[in-house]
């Protein structure tokens, strides 16, 4: 007897969504929760060729329920249960690493997110904040970051270790427009250090070295900023340095630049930067901009974009735009993200609409 092709079964994701919503209520007795956030969103990819393994988490629909800012024995806890419909499930026929198209309309992936922050006092070190963030998907993809931050004499220090089963967009599609983590095309582990020290009353030096291990070897990055506060009136002048090496240290890049930040009191700052970078392709200029504006009626618009042709660790071109506004008792946020200008990493984009309803809990 011939078998019919596999077709989407709506009852599967509806049953999974019911499970997510029901399980979330079981979390409430565990803590004195302050807020409950209900979120629904959708995501679109520009092309299926952009969906390679570990590079996109663009699912057709996502529903989640989260407990935010819950206090548990002096710690702050956040728990999120999400359901991704039409996702790219790892290990299925749709997995691009197995020759698939990158999307399976009938695939349903459940994702559990957890965040934890706790303050502890360690004698001369004073207060140290420990943080844990992680995500676990039902198709066995996971990521986990453990971090600590505090003050060591005149230096503020941050240290974090992360283990990632895939690149960041596999867990959050709009992360494709961010350079917070390098795009390594698969599983990786990373150690990140952040140091901030005040050299003078109006001079601050920041350095962020990072080391990563992937299947292709060890890679590294360095970002540093010398911040000259009130160098141009009330505005901040920044001298910038970036450098990085690909896995196995086969290739590298470096860039120097200058930027300016316009502080505006309670309004968001405006940041602009220009670079000159060197890579195996030669010398190239670079630009980055970050804008945000609070508009009447509680509306907020933001734009961030970067064009850095010398970058080897992420897409050289990245852009994101967001608009959030109050709707009823909640808020609606629309986010568009894109990553482009890289031969090795196909261009991709995502559009996400998110509605959050905050409910005060006893």
pLDDT at 92 over 70: no
Query: Half-sphere exposure of 264 toward its Cβ, with a 13 Å CA cutoff?
Result: 12
pLDDT at 139 over 70: yes
pLDDT at 258 over 50: yes
**Residues 6 or more apart from 29 whose CB is under 8 A from it?**
none
CA angle in degrees (0–180, nearest 5) for 207-209-215 = 165
- Condensed to tens digits (0 to 9), the pLDDT of residues 314-340 reads 999 999 999 999 998 889 999 999 999
Strand (E) or helix (H) holding 21: helix 10-27
Exposure string of 90-126, with b = 16+ CB inside 10 Å and e = fewer, is beeebbbeeebebbbebbbbbbbbebbbeeeeeeeee
Q: Is 63 helix (H, G, I), strand (E, B) or coil?
A: strand
The answer to whether 310 touches 279, Cβ cutoff 8 Å, is yes
d(CA 319, CA 335): 11
pTM of the model: 0.83
* Of the candidates 308, 252, 256, 249, the residue with the CA atom closest to the CA atom of residue 279: 252
Per-residue pLDDT, 268 = 84
The answer to whether 165 touches 189, Cβ cutoff 8 Å, is no
* Of the candidates 58, 338, 267, 285, the residue with the CA atom closest to the CA atom of residue 173: 58
Find the Cα–Cα–Cα–Cα dihedral 45, 47, 51, 55, rounded to 10°. -60
Per-residue pLDDT, 196 = 97
Per-residue pLDDT, 149 = 94
Query: How confident is residue 95, by pLDDT bands cut at 50, 70 and 90?
Result: very low
Q: Which residue has the higher pLDDT, 94 or 175?
A: 175
Q: Where are the domains of the chain?
A: 10-360
Which residues does residue 299 pair with via DSSP β-bridges, in sequence order? 295
CATH fold of 10-360, please? Porin (2.40.160)
Strand (E) or helix (H) holding 23: helix 10-27
pLDDT at 59 over 60: yes
The DSSP result for 75-111, as a single string, is EEEEEEEEEEES---TTSTT-GGGT--S--TT-EEEE
> What share of the chain in percent tops pLDDT 90?
48
d(CA 270, CA 203): 19
- Condensed to tens digits (0 to 9), the pLDDT of residues 265-298 reads 877 889 999 999 999 999 999 999 999 999 999 9
pLDDT at 247 over 80: yes
């Amino acid at each position: 007897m011939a078998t019919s092709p596999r077709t989407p079964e709506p009852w599967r994701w509806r049953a999974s969504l019911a499970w997510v919503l029901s399980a979330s209520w079981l979390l409430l007795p565990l803590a004195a929760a302050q807020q409950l956030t209900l979120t629904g969103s959708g995501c679109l990819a520009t092309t299926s060729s952009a969906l390679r393994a570990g590079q996109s988490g663009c699912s057709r629909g996502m529903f989640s329920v989260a407990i935010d800012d819950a206090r548990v024995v002096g710690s702050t806890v956040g728990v999120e249960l999400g359901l991704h419909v039409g996702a790219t499930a790892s290990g299925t026929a749709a997995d691009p690493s197995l020759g698939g198209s990158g999307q399976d309309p009938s695939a349903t992936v459940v994702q559990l997110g957890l965040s934890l922050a706790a303050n502890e006092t360690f004698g001369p070190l004073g207060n140290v904040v420990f943080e844990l963030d992680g995500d676990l998907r039902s198709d066995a993809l996971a990521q986990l970051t453990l971090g600590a931050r505090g003050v060591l004499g005149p230096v503020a220090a941050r240290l974090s270790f992360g283990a990632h089963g895939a690149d960041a967009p596999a867990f959050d599609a709009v992360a494709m427009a961010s350079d917070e983590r390098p795009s390594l095309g698969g599983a990786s582990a990373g150690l990140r250090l952040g140091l901030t020290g005040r050299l003078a009353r109006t001079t601050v030096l920041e350095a962020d070295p990072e080391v990563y291990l992937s299947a292709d070897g060890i890679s590294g990055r360095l970002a540093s900023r010398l911040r000259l506060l009130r160098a141009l009136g009330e505005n901040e002048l920044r001298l910038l340095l970036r450098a990085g090496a690909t896995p196995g240290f086969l290739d590298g890049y470096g860039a120097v630049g200058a930027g300016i930040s316009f502080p505006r009191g309670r309004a968001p700052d405006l940041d602009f930067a220009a670079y000159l970078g060197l890579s195996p392709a030669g010398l190239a200029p670079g630009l980055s901009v970050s804008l945000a504006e609070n508009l009447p009626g509680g509306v907020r618009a933001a734009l961030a974009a970067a064009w850095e042709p010398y970058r080897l660790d992420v897409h050289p071109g990245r852009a994101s735009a967001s608009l959030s506004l109050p709707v009823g008792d909640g808020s609606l946020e629309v986010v568009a993200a894109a990553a482009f200008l890289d031969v090795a990493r196909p261009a991709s984009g995502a559009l996400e609409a998110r509605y959050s309803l905050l409910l005060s809990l006893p």
